[in-house]
């Protein structure tokens, strides 16, 4: 009886070459994976922000330069909520709890903010809308949340928001019958910036010259 040629053992040299090739493939794959993870670590934040901005994911709102020229007959109620994170001695509340707006209508509302402490404090407002899917259609033209806000001791400020809800929301199968959108803000404290080094005075330079 003849042996099946497929079951014959491979020569030692051939096995070594195959093992070497597999080792190289595994090493290259691991290196590519590691490089991808490092790249993702650096790009994840801006890419995630861009993804949220484009899709409205997580209730992320949009930014716009101006409201559309066409205003829809369809209306929606926009409700407002304000919160302050632990460690920030501010009061923060909407001046209007809700407004009824037409889709495409430019609307301005405001929040009242007060620094209850005896020192200047900088805060940053984070936000979202609910339901999450409405974030794709909620457009802000102006908002205090676009930048950090610094309040002096005891200072009270009225902070405006200018927005509109995109008329295209009426064409969304998921949102065409939506009755209300809630816009929620939470102010968080921002760490004080590092002190700027001051230039040495002429007296200091003179003293250094004497010591030298």
**Could you tell me the two tokens for 25?**
């493939």
Q: What is the pLDDT of residue 3?
A: 47
Helix, strand or coil for residue 75?
strand
What are the start-end ranges of the E strands in 152-212?
A: 156-165, 180-189
Q: What is the pLDDT of residue 142?
A: 96
Q: Residue 140 pLDDT > 60, yes or no? A: yes
- CATH-assigned architecture of domain 62-189: Sandwich (2.60)
Strand partners, 181: 78
Q: For residue 56, which of 131, 117, 122, 126 has the smallest C-alpha distance?
A: 131
Q: Which residues contact 151 (CB under 8 A, 6 or more apart)?
A: 90, 113, 114, 115, 120, 121, 122, 123, 157
Span 167-191, average pLDDT: 94
**How is the chain split into domains, by residue range?**
62-189
Q: For residue 20, name the pLDDT band (cuts at 50, 70, 90).
A: low
Q: Could you read off the pLDDT of 68-91 as tens digits, one per residue? A: 999 999 999 999 999 999 999 999
Q: How many CB atoms lie within 10 A of CB 201?
A: 9
Weakest mean pLDDT among 21-25, 125-129, 145-149, 166-170: 21-25
Q: Residue written as tokens 């037409």?
A: 102
- Whole-angstrom distance, CA of residue 82 vs CA of residue 59: 16
- Whole-angstrom distance, CA of residue 55 vs CA of residue 60: 8
- Whole-angstrom distance, CA of residue 129 vs CA of residue 123: 20
Helix, strand or coil for residue 4?
coil
């Amino acid at each position: 009886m003849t042996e099946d040629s497929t079951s014959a053992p491979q020569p030692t040299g051939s096995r070594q070459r195959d093992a070497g090739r597999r080792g190289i493939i595994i090493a290259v794959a691991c290196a590519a994976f590691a490089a991808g993870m490092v790249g993702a670590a650096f790009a994840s934040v801006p890419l995630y922000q861009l993804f949220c901005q484009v899709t409205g994911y997580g209730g992320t709102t949009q930014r716009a330069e101006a409201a559309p020229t066409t205003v829809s007959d369809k209306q929606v109620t926009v409700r407002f909520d304000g919160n302050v994170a632990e460690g920030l001695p501010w009061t923060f509340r909407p001046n209007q709890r809700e407004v009824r707006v037409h889709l495409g209508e430019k609307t301005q509302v405001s929040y009242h903010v007060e620094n209850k402490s005896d020192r200047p404090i900088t805060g940053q407002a984070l936000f979202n809308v609910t339901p999450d899917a409405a974030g794709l259609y909620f457009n802000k033209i102006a908002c205090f949340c676009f930048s950090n806000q610094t309040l002096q001791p005891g200072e009270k400020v009225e902070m405006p928001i200018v927005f509109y809800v995109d008329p295209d929301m009426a064409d969304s199968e998921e949102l065409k019958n939506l009755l209300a959108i809630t816009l929620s803000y939470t102010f968080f404290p921002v760490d004080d910036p590092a002190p700027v080094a001051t230039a040495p005075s002429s007296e200091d330079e003179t003293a250094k010259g004497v010591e030298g």
